[in-house]
Amino acid sequence: MSALICEVVYRGIFQKNLAARITRGIVLSARKSGRWGIAFGRYGDSPQRNGIPAKDFAIVADTKEELEQNMARYEPKHVDVTICVDDTLAKGVESWAWYGLQPLNRLIVPGGTLLMTSVQPVEGILRDIHKKESPYTLALIRAKASFSGLWVYKEDHTEVRVLGALAKIAPSFLTLDAVAQAIKESEWGSDLKVASARKAYERLESREIKVSEGNAEVPYAFELPRWWEMREGVSIPAIPIGKPKEGGKGYVPERNPYFKKFSTRTMRPVVDFDTCVKCNLCWIACPDSVFDVMPDGTFDANMEACCGCGVCEAVCPVENCITMVNEAEFEDNASQWEMWRKDKTAYKTWLGAKIGNKKATVRSHGFRFRGQYEQELKADLDAGGVEITAGIPGENAEHKTI
């Protein structure tokens, strides 16, 4: 093998800086190992949008010529390692260019590696990751999603822990000493981050995934039109503005009829309309105009438009008014508000059952106190039945209060 190709799957905007740090760290570490590398983003049909799955890439090669050869394409068609920094992206990425759902493990070569940050057990993760026609390795860094949001970077050492894990996955390209040197001599310049990378190297969990394991669903896909089937003209019709609901009360935004964002969703919001204070924050902060304004002033989440990013839960000021729940708990995309309007007592029972089965997802904008990350991580690991015998990951991490 003369080149190592990595992709980083992340939530657009909210994890943009994290993805860039990871791919840049891969290149810096490669240079310390005497190799060539480049890091770049994926644009075109996968734009940076709040909460929408996006990709960055890093290529490492033995020679400059080999690197240039691998760069001579729009983007890699096959990767040795897929890095997923948020396990709510386990189903994959949906493109804007009518490709449909691209499973998370789609580009991984036979015998390649899917590296994820997660506190879930392997069986829970495989419920969402689609089956693959060839075996691959699932490697886990026991960590929570570094989902800062609102342009605030969460300093929880996720990027260096990924680098440490990569040194174990691909030691012929990134040695642990080279990773430590790159961290020490870069703008990170932190002994604590070097220690975090080494701990991630030691504690990385790996398991081979067989072709029989994973989500058996057939990924949602479009049939691409032939060139002779496309309509004439060079203009692209814009999405119309929204319109009032029937009767003139409420508001429904127009949405792209082709971009099925729900196909990548592994979590969805459930709303307690009885406790909603009509503050508008979910409606304002939602990156995809998911919320319909209902006649009574509350907000109904349109599940055809929701990508499951969890921003609404993070900004809602009322405890348990909006709760992210596993997608596996639902059978359809029916309106929650209509269910609540028809029978409030039955809806309350339904709501309680769904929230009771939820997997905790914390989407905070920073840390309130030193050590908060370790406490949250341990609680989530205990709740998920995951044993950590070597201690709590990131226990020596330095945190910023934001």
Q: Tell me: the pLDDT tens digits for 237-274?
A: 666 777 887 777 888 887 776 666 777 888 899 999 99
Q: Check residue 168 and give its pLDDT.
A: 97
Say if CB 132 and CB 214 are below 8 A apart.
yes
Whether the predicted pLDDT of 367 surpasses 70: no
Q: Check residue 380 and give its pLDDT.
A: 65
Average pLDDT on 164-177 reads 95
Express each pLDDT in 20-68 by its tens digit.
Answer: 999 999 999 999 988 999 998 875 455 566 677 888 999 999 988 888 8
As a whole number of angstroms, the distance between CA 114 and CA 137 comes to: 6
Q: 362 or 108: whose pLDDT is higher? A: 108
Residue 154's pLDDT band (boundaries 50, 70, 90)?
A: low
Q: Check residue 96 and give its pLDDT.
A: 62
Whether the predicted pLDDT of 399 surpasses 60: no
As a whole number of angstroms, the distance between CA 351 and CA 301 comes to: 14
The strands making up 291-293's β-sheet, listed across from edge to edge, are 243-244, 251-252, 291-293, 299-301
Q: Check residue 368 and give its pLDDT.
A: 57
Domains and CATH numbers, the chain: 3-209 (3.40.920.10), 239-356 (3.30.70)
Whether the predicted pLDDT of 177 surpasses 90: yes
Whether the predicted pLDDT of 91 surpasses 70: yes
Say if CB 82 and CB 108 are below 8 A apart.
yes
As a whole number of angstroms, the distance between CA 394 and CA 327 comes to: 29
Express each pLDDT in 101-129 by its tens digit.
Answer: 889 999 999 999 999 999 889 998 999 99
For the record, the structure tokens of 195 come out as 């220690």
Return the percentage of the chain with pLDDT > 90, whole number.
42
Say if CB 285 and CB 315 are below 8 A apart.
yes
pTM: 0.78
Q: 74 or 38: whose pLDDT is higher? A: 38
